[in-house]
Structure 1
């Protein structure tokens, strides 16, 4: 996803667009403000991931439309614009999003297939691999990342609830997420450096996941690998 447009930051209009969408999540609002979305949201996001492509790879932008087929929430549009690198290749993912709350960057496995989860738990239970993950997570938290991903409400079956790594063992998906909010630099090229630094900080987590978990096994009847990693704010590229 290359672009010749230089990234200059996300203008205030991007946040205002999503403020309005949260108040009126309708096709009429989106249609009336489509030019703002293209100019202040989609355009800068394309420029951002284009500037990062040489180092991190090609990103895919998530669609603005929500998949409402199986959701009780029928609002037609997502309240953020996300982009992701690494969809189901086993090497982990990198994620960036803009919303009314500002900028966020993250990465990891937001969702794991059954076979990935088996390997993940086995690795966390192993003292050497498990301790390496603890060190990775501690380093991310020291850089203001939050650990995200679906978790069980209790210990997995057969696991001692008092296990020293029980927090990690309860995860069904694991990723680091850093919420930057909307500081003054958001509307400047400095936002590119913040995302780049965040993605570099996530390299040890994605390396651990690639080594210990890997890609999902193929699903019978589906030529693709199992479930793709999804964004923490809604799936569907």
Structure 2
């Protein structure tokens, strides 16, 4: 299937799901989700796979086991491309009633990865590289976020406010939201995602080179 845009019916589907997040609504509109949300998202990431690697679409069902919010369905469809050998770094895209969200970076780091990340930030070559790249992204309109400590971890005192802030991070990613626009319904959406992901190449390369994959054995719940 060639990507031709996200049909308006898909966005309307999510508007309705936000108002009625129930199995009854989902069952009644499942065909709309499949045709107007899931299928175009799969087509989008398939066309980007040659450059960014294959992507995984997230399931539409929420894991409510440990949440006070028991609504059963996600009000967005996300997909993540995490090429083999690139460790924690990934590219992300999401469609919802709000519009199109794109992002890249590392969302979850294990303790060994956090330690390598901190050593790299403190390094006099790699640290300034990341500081400058994060500054460039922020100036270009990206929101730079991530789980972070309230203060710089013990043992690190760089005398550099920007790198000190980066040292507080336990994960690091950049994202932006494109509000609803007519181009969402056509192939321009593909080029918007491609251009945005290309803008995150340097951030993801830094994370892949300096953080990499975890060496810990991950226990699955």
**Partner of 2:138 in structure 1?**
141
SS in 2 for 1:33: helix
Structure 1 CA distance for aligned equivalents of residues 156 and 69 of structure 2 = 35
Matched, 1:80 2:48: no
Alignment of 1:154-165 (within 5 A): 154-160=151-157, 163-164=160-161, 165=163
**Partner of 2:122 in structure 1?**
125
Correspondence for 1:29 among 21, 25, 34: 25
Deviations 1:136-161, CA, capped at 9 Å, x for gaps: 11222233211122122332234449
Contact 1:105 1:179 in 2 (8 A): yes
Deviations 1:54-109, CA, capped at 9 Å, x for gaps: 11111100000011111121111111100001178516101100011110111111
Deviation of residue 46 (structure 1)?
0.7
Q: CA, structure 1 residues 161+22, in 2 after alignment: closer, same or farther (shift >3 Å)?
A: farther
Matched, 1:152 2:165: no
Deviation of residue 43 (structure 1)?
1.0
- The size of the alignment, in residue pairs, is 218
Deviations 1:159-210, CA, capped at 9 Å, x for gaps: 4496421221111110111211111211111000000011111110111011
Q: CA, structure 1 residues 87+22, in 2 after alignment: closer, same or farther (shift >3 Å)?
A: farther
Unaligned runs of 5+ residues in structure 2 are none
**Partner of 1:54 in structure 2?**
50
Structure 1 CA distance for aligned equivalents of residues 194 and 170 of structure 2 = 27
Unaligned runs of 5+ residues in structure 1 are 228-237
**Partner of 1:110 in structure 2?**
107
Structure 2 CA distance for aligned equivalents of residues 144 and 9 of structure 1 = 24
Contact 1:17 1:37 in 2 (8 A): yes
Contact 2:52 2:83 in 1 (8 A): no
SS in 1 for 2:125: helix
Contact 1:91 1:207 in 2 (8 A): no
TM-score after normalising by structure 1: 0.86
